[in-house]
Amino acid sequence: MDFTTLKLAHQKTLDRIQAACQAAQRDPETVALLAVSKTRDAEAVEALATLGQRAFGENYVSEGVGKIQALANPDLIWHFIGPIQSNKTKLLAEHFDWVQTVDRLKLVKRLNDQRPSSAPQLNVLIQVNLDGEEQKAGCAPSEIADLAQAIHQAPRLRLRGLMAIPAVRQALHQQRAVFADLKAHFDQLQTQYPHIDTLSAGMSNDMEAAIAEGANLVRVGTALFGPRQKA
Ligand SMILES: *Cc1c(COP(=O)(O)O)cnc(C)c1O
């Protein structure tokens, strides 16, 4: 993708966020864009970084670590947003700033043990499986409280909020209903942990619905970089 196209797509995405905030009577400053750079090369990340984009999301551990090391840019903030295999937690703890997909207690202990003492606390979101889809990652809503307590008690981790990837829905009101459900879980959790501040929801095809329901970190790939190549 050439730079002009990328620049246009970036501006269009920021405009969408702004319009969605306006429609929801929210301050656009309260919604951040996470650029999902999975399958895109380090050059694409660098190009977007020159446009002021700082936060990037990766789904595959070795691919993400490769880009983090290749770019070695201390201004960039890296989020892991893919499913986590337990044997990959060390690389996550050593290289990423955020892990959005913590969904079981075993991961909490491993990430805490493996976060280097020289690094700041690892920012953690709990991934919630709102649709009860068996094959999908994410904890059941009933498991949020136990996970949150474990993360809160882990000295090398910092609980920041919730994340979800709902099943695809086409109608706006259906998209909004599931994000409203997520927001209710977030509000509930915040009564116990007032410092939590991040609700990661919304992607290229449903960011308007997520923003309408209170998301403050939208994860966007396709709308920025174009369609991904099929593996
Ligand atoms: C790929 C991915 C995205 C981005 O999806 P697009 O539809 O390309 O915007 C967001 N979140 C997660 C967890 C993803 O895996």
- Domain span including residue 80: 3-225
CB atoms within 10 A of CB 200: 27
pLDDT at 228: 84
Residue at 231 is within a domain:
no
DSSP secondary structure letter of residue 121 = P
Residue at 46 is within a domain:
yes
Structurally, the chain folds into a number of domains equal to 1
DSSP secondary structure letter of residue 129 = -
The β-bridge partners of 199 are 162
Interval between CA 210 and ligand 1 midpoint (Å): 13
* Cα distance between residue 21 and residue 40, in whole Å: 28
pLDDT digits (tens, 9 = 90+) for 176-203: 999 999 999 999 999 999 999 999 999 9
pLDDT digits (tens, 9 = 90+) for 71-129: 999 999 999 999 999 999 999 999 999 999 999 999 999 999 999 999 999 999 999 99
Q: What is the model's pTM?
A: 0.97
Q: Is 44 in the pocket of ligand 1 (CB under 6 A)?
A: no
CATH number for 127: 3.20.20.10
Q: Is 220 in the pocket of ligand 1 (CB under 6 A)?
A: yes
Residue at 230 is within a domain:
no
CA dihedral 67, 72, 78, 84 (to 10 degrees): 50
Residue at 51 is within a domain:
yes
Residue at 147 is within a domain:
yes
The β-bridge partners of 34 are 219
Residue at 86 is within a domain:
yes
Tokens of 111: 């990430």
